[in-house]
Structure 1
Amino acid sequence: MDQYTIQTSKQKKIFVMAGLFILATSITLLGFALSIFSLINNISFTVLSSQIPGFVFGLAITFLGARYFLAVKKLKVEVFKEETHFSWSNFKKSNT
């Protein structure tokens, strides 16, 4: 009773992965747009009483979006493997 087989259709997996890719791409593009917008309009944000250019925040968001995109790409490979199966043991804490 440690392992259960849950049937998920390939179509559902494709739909979810497409949503994750759209989200990752949106984050990346919005970060890039913030960078360009902040650069053109000379926008800065106050953080801990310091002025930080909006361009820097845009670059950080762009980087995080690109990193998330790569993580989703890696997840896609794992999800679509044939030997992938559901197991409750994947959710147990390790004793380290």
Structure 2
Amino acid sequence: TFSLVFSLTTLALTAPQPQNTGRPISSGVCCTPNTSLEQDVCNVNGSTGRCVPSGSAGGGALICVTDANLTYDPNTLERGRPLCRKTIEAGV
């Protein structure tokens, strides 16, 4: 029974979190200040994306970047989702 409980606990911790865990889904280039977190789902120009750090130009604010312009690291999870960054900032 221990192995079953351990397996279920591990599965629960690694399962993707529901979209934004109740936080609003931002719409537009800027993610919601003081509300959105890194990796939150957002919408920009009719496409889905993620809230990611804007880099030095934005003073560290989170911006919504479309999925097509993100680079994902499937080996690193952040808030239950693969870590992603703007492709240019990832060096790709």
Tell me the TM-score normalized by structure 1: 0.26
Bigger relative contact order (CA 8 A; separation at least 6): 1
Tell me the TM-score normalized by structure 2: 0.26
User: Quick check: which has more Rg, 1 or 2?
Assistant: 1
Greater helix proportion? 1
Greater strand proportion? 2
